[in-house]
Structure 1
Amino acid sequence: MTAPPLALSFGAPLGLLALLAIPLALAALYAARRRRTAYAVRFPAAGSLAIAAGAEAAWRKYLPAAFALAAIAALALALAKPQKTVAVPVEGASVVLVTDHSGSMSATDVEPDRLSAAQAAAETFLDKLPKQTRVGVVAYSDGPDGTLAPTTDRERIRTTIESQSASGATATGEALQVAIDTLAPDGTKAKSKASAIILLSDGKTTTGRDPVEVARVAKRLGIPVYTVALGTEDATIPNPISPLSPPIAVPPDPETLREIARVSGGRAFTSDDAGQLRSIYESLGSRLATKHEQREITAGFAGAGLVLLIAAGLLSLPRLGRLP
């Protein structure tokens, strides 16, 4: 995944030059203390007078200077116009989950089985999305057989996802076309730049149109397809014709899914365990439904600087302390 942008940046980085005032202030304080020490030598009885007056704790006399220096740092940062990177929901975001529930999804190489892992990952995806993000579902095996138009009704989405059972062939191209028609019903470019498809499959297309050609249509309409190839190379399922017959090999088909993602402008992922699959879906939830914006936080630094200056002034009063 793409690395997140830096959390803090500066709109006027030259303002950071004001931080040079800190070492200058420290040098001035050091010089002042040297002069004070020299003065104390001429009057050796000063220590006895301090004891008689009730000497303050050694650390306390440094507090005013510490607060003053912290105030300088905060105000210097305020001059540089600090900006914080925040994730905000994308308005009008629509995502369609296209989930394979063909017979090979009953394989148990991904615990507890491929289909259950895919359903749990979809739940993670929904939890990661902002509530206003619309999500649709296209479930398929021999063909698309469970379709839900993009909606914010999370319960309907979960019901559609959980109602799937593993059986039948794999018609990935047909399912992709239905998802495209859902996001761009009139065959024109998707209105929302956040429109996207997430395709999870565990095997080769065995029926229907070529999914790679359908992915080219998605590219033309501005709909990227993010693909997840689920399963391991040595996975098998029991032979449905006869339990006594050798099991059927059901390896995933990452090559085709990678090509679908490339052609459409999306990204391809592979997963061979449930934890990794959930992580992929969680990351996709952040990528597709949020965007990063810069928010200026100058006021916070300026306010902190003023508070620190006031604290330094109060601590410098005769009863509270003084600058060293």
Structure 2
Amino acid sequence: MTVATPLALSFGSPIGLLALLAIPVALLLLAAARRRRTSYAIRFPAATTLALAAGSVSSWRRHVPTALALAAIAALALALAKPQRTVAVPVEGASVVLVTDHSGSMSATDVEPDRLTAAEEAAETFLAKLPKATRVGVVAYSDGPDGTLAPTTDHDRVRQTIEAQSAVGATATGEALQVALDTLAPNGRKAARPASAIVLLSDGKTTTGRDPVEVAKTAKKLGVPVYTVALGTADATIPNPVSPLSPPIAVPPDPETLKQIAELSGGRAFTSGDAGQLRSIYSSLGSRLATKHEDREITAGFAGAGLVLLLAAGLLSLPRVGRLP
């Protein structure tokens, strides 16, 4: 289970912050009271002797009760403003489908040790970020979808499906996206789960099958965002399968189309040229898709702190002067 993580502080009733004006007012009143006591002071010949008999109090100790009282006012004023903390909490019943390209271009070594291995390792990072309750499915594809797993909480099966791929064949991204979409929104019905998303990793242009851009438009209507990751570098090549003596084949990624897919579906596009960056992207996606932000009121904490500070100020002032600051 993912622990809620604090993200930001806000206020449900910010007008309550006006109570903080009590602090400068209290300081002005305290300064005025001290000037008044000085104005009415009288000479007493034995004052030095009495001070020695009573013992001295360090300057900073005389100010501690006042400082605590002011801090208490500040805490109570913040409590009046109903402070809220924004936290990331797990999404119950989240469902994600990983669509992974294992076409022949995934054998390119521009991403160490090669694109396919880097993608598999990044998927491990992604799964590690997800709560155990998150359902994960897989659609592996090249010439067409050839390795599918319905969303499940058995993440070990997900790993096995991903690791069973080998780099071969063409790139049918549109067909794979459609299978993933049918899994999350069967029969064209809008996805009913609280969080349904597709994560698509590909390293090249679609070379066969339906247009993935059109599938992305349908995904938007069905409430399933597609997060895309374009893997590889522009100058990447693979050996020519016809003959080792033939010129190598260029296999640049296609970030433009993947960005279009993400934008049309309501997702977000990423690009990666190295394994470390790819793992970082997948880690971020794992957190994004498995959590949601909620505001939680923390008024009681501020109110409690204010009362404790006020009590401490009173206790520290009594031994010195016999009254509250």
User: For residue 74 of structure 2, what is the amino acid of its counterpart?
Assistant: A
Q: How does 1:259-298 map to 2 (within 5 A)?
A: 259-298=260-299
User: For residue 25 of structure 2, what is the amino acid of its counterpart?
Assistant: L
- The 3-state SS of whatever aligns with 1:85 is strand
Q: Could you list the per-position Cα deviations for residues 164-210 of structure 1 after superposition, in whole angstroms to 9, with x for gaps in the alignment?
A: 22222211111111111211223211112411111110001122222
Q: Could you list the per-position Cα deviations for residues 107-130 of structure 1 after superposition, in whole angstroms to 9, with x for gaps in the alignment?
A: 121222212222222222222222
The aligned counterpart of 2:176 is: 175
User: For residue 295 of structure 2, what is the amino acid of its counterpart?
Assistant: Q
User: For residue 28 of structure 2, what is the amino acid of its counterpart?
Assistant: A
Q: TM-score, normalised by structure 2?
A: 0.91
Q: For residues 215 and 45 of structure 2, what CA distance do their matches in structure 1 show?
A: 93
Contact 1:138 1:178 in 2 (8 A): yes
- The 3-state SS of whatever aligns with 1:72 is helix
Q: For residues 184 and 45 of structure 1, what CA distance do their matches in structure 2 show?
A: 92
Q: For residues 41 and 270 of structure 2, what CA distance do their matches in structure 1 show?
A: 73
Contact 2:92 2:194 in 1 (8 A): no
- In structure 2, runs of 5+ residues without a counterpart are 1-5
Q: For residues 217 and 194 of structure 1, what CA distance do their matches in structure 2 show?
A: 17
**What is the CA distance between 1:131 and its match in structure 2?**
2.4
Q: How does 1:189-208 map to 2 (within 5 A)?
A: 189-208=190-209
Q: TM-score, normalised by structure 1?
A: 0.91
The aligned counterpart of 2:111 is: 110
Q: How does 1:294-305 map to 2 (within 5 A)?
A: 294-305=295-306
* Greater mean deviation of Cα atoms: 8-17 or 45-54: 45-54
Aligned CA-pair RMSD: 2.2
Cα 1:21/1:107, change in 2 over 3 Å: same
Q: For residues 218 and 38 of structure 1, what CA distance do their matches in structure 2 show?
A: 80
Contact 1:61 1:322 in 2 (8 A): no
Q: For residues 305 and 44 of structure 1, what CA distance do their matches in structure 2 show?
A: 43
**What is the CA distance between 1:214 and its match in structure 2?**
2.2
Percent identical: 83
Cα 1:216/1:38, change in 2 over 3 Å: same
Contact 1:149 1:182 in 2 (8 A): yes
Q: For residues 212 and 78 of structure 2, what CA distance do their matches in structure 1 show?
A: 53
The aligned counterpart of 2:3 is: none
Q: How does 1:19-38 map to 2 (within 5 A)?
A: 19-38=20-39
User: For residue 76 of structure 1, what is the amino acid of its counterpart?
Assistant: A
Q: For residues 47 and 145 of structure 1, what CA distance do their matches in structure 2 show?
A: 96
- 1:234 and 2:247 are equivalent in the alignment: no
The aligned counterpart of 2:121 is: 120
The aligned counterpart of 1:11 is: 12
Contact 1:74 1:304 in 2 (8 A): yes
Q: For residues 35 and 152 of structure 1, what CA distance do their matches in structure 2 show?
A: 74
Q: Could you list the per-position Cα deviations for residues 1-56 of structure 1 after superposition, in whole angstroms to 9, with x for gaps in the alignment?
A: xxxx9711111111111101111111122223334445556336434422332212
- The 3-state SS of whatever aligns with 1:8 is strand
User: For residue 230 of structure 2, what is the amino acid of its counterpart?
Assistant: A
**What is the CA distance between 1:145 and its match in structure 2?**
1.8
- The 3-state SS of whatever aligns with 2:227 is strand
Q: How does 1:74-113 map to 2 (within 5 A)?
A: 74-113=75-114
**What is the CA distance between 1:322 and its match in structure 2?**
6.9
Contact 2:7 2:88 in 1 (8 A): no
**What is the CA distance between 1:71 and its match in structure 2?**
0.5
**What is the CA distance between 1:307 and its match in structure 2?**
0.7
The aligned counterpart of 2:220 is: 219
Q: Could you list the per-position Cα deviations for residues 221-276 of structure 1 after superposition, in whole angstroms to 9, with x for gaps in the alignment?
A: 22121111111110111222322322111000112212222332222222212232
Contact 1:218 1:225 in 2 (8 A): yes
Cα 1:125/1:48, change in 2 over 3 Å: farther
Contact 1:88 1:291 in 2 (8 A): yes
**What is the CA distance between 1:321 and its match in structure 2?**
8.5
Contact 2:132 2:153 in 1 (8 A): yes
Cα 1:304/1:171, change in 2 over 3 Å: same
The aligned counterpart of 1:138 is: 139
Q: For residues 232 and 92 of structure 2, what CA distance do their matches in structure 1 show?
A: 34
**What is the CA distance between 1:162 and its match in structure 2?**
2.1
User: For residue 15 of structure 2, what is the amino acid of its counterpart?
Assistant: L
- The 3-state SS of whatever aligns with 1:223 is coil
Contact 1:173 1:209 in 2 (8 A): yes
Contact 1:60 1:321 in 2 (8 A): no
Q: For residues 15 and 133 of structure 1, what CA distance do their matches in structure 2 show?
A: 40
Contact 1:196 1:225 in 2 (8 A): yes
- 1:54 and 2:55 are equivalent in the alignment: yes
